[in-house]
Amino acid sequence: MTVTRPTDRALRIGTRASALAVAQAEQVALLLSTAVPGLRTQLVPTTTEADTWHGDLASLGGKGLFVKAIDRQLQRGEVDIAVHCLKDVPGDVPLPDGLIFAAMLPRADARDALLVPEGSPVTTPDDLPPGAVVATAAVRRRAQILARWPHLTVVQVRGAIDTRLRKLDGAGEGQAADAMVLGRAGLERLGLADRIVRDFGVDEMLPAVGAGVLVVECRRDDRPTRDLLRAVDDPATRAEATAERSLLYGLRGHCNSPIAGYCVTTADGRLELRGMVFSRDGSTVVHTRARGAMSEDPGTLGKRVCADLLRQGARDLIDSPGQ
């Protein structure tokens, strides 16, 4: 059934109800209102199953649960667009029927960042003693921390960013860790960048596929909304993200796969894509980097990098027990 958006009401924006997700949806609303004067928007927040789950996301079905409920609302016509962090959108399966990425916003800082309890003198993982505990939610970060700083102990932490920071500072149940690694983009969007004591360069910790990218979905058959969203689409970000997600799709990567992929546009206008796959403990790493030809499709670049990683044994790492 075709669902069209009446032009006499506000554009309904589907989003998770977390503080970060709402802040991201508000950013999209502001950009759209600036690009299209007179446009009215309305946020429609939803608490997803993943938001209320405190265990391992892999056992529940993966990070895709963060977006699944919102996408269903979009398919049913209950919202007009959906705003997601691209890194939360599953890359090993196609988008849900009838939905498309209508816009990708200019990429925010994709780097990972180190945070420590308030009052801690630590400014780098090198300052932490053997056995010190570093908390993070991502297997990709865990593998890279252990690969570079094998003297540390890495534990999983979940929950909203403010909840994680309270745990880090020891509120309620005692200090959860000696340090924590989170994405800089989310901290900036919540006004919490002052908590960062160190940014990890991409040579130290390669970002996740889609890190820092906000994507806006709409229904494929909703032509007026597709046309509207072109006003905020960033072609450079779209090209980079397409290369990264092509890599992820080829590797059949999911939320429990230690895969990193990061694409940039070089000064001469070409795309450069780096890909890495790790064992869970960081002891084995395969990596590659490639530049696209001037006329090469971004997806083709992603496939080339994927093929090189598979030649180096990435499939065994992804499929090994515990991965």
- Beta-carbon contacts of 272 under 8 Å, excluding residues fewer than 6 positions away, are 263, 264, 265, 266, 289, 290, 291, 292
Q: Please name which of 247, 229, 317, 231 lies closest in space to residue 281, comparing C-alpha atoms.
A: 317
pTM of the model: 0.90
Q: What is the mean pLDDT of the chain?
A: 91
Residue 6 pLDDT > 80: no
Residue type, 163: T
In this predicted structure, which of 40-44, 50-54, 171-175, 234-238 has the lowest mean pLDDT?
Answer: 50-54
Q: What pLDDT was estimated at residue 3?
A: 45
Question: How many other CB atoms are there within 10 angstroms of residue 122's CB atom?
Answer: 18
pLDDT digits (tens, 9 = 90+) for 260-300: 999 999 999 999 999 999 998 999 999 999 999 878 899 99
Q: Please, what are the domains in the chain?
A: 11-106+212-233 (3.40.190.10), 112-199 (3.40.190.10), 246-319 (3.30.160.40)
From residue 161, alpha-carbon distances to 24, 47, 99, 185, 292 in Å are: 14, 15, 29, 12, 36
To the query of whether residue 88 is one of the catalytic residues in this protein, the response is yes
Residue 33 pLDDT > 50: yes
Catalytic one of 88, 112, 178, 222: 88
Residue 128 pLDDT > 80: yes
pLDDT digits (tens, 9 = 90+) for 221-250: 999 999 999 999 999 999 999 999 999 999
Q: What pLDDT was estimated at residue 64?
A: 60
Q: What pLDDT was estimated at residue 65?
A: 75
Question: How many other CB atoms are there within 10 angstroms of residue 149's CB atom?
Answer: 18
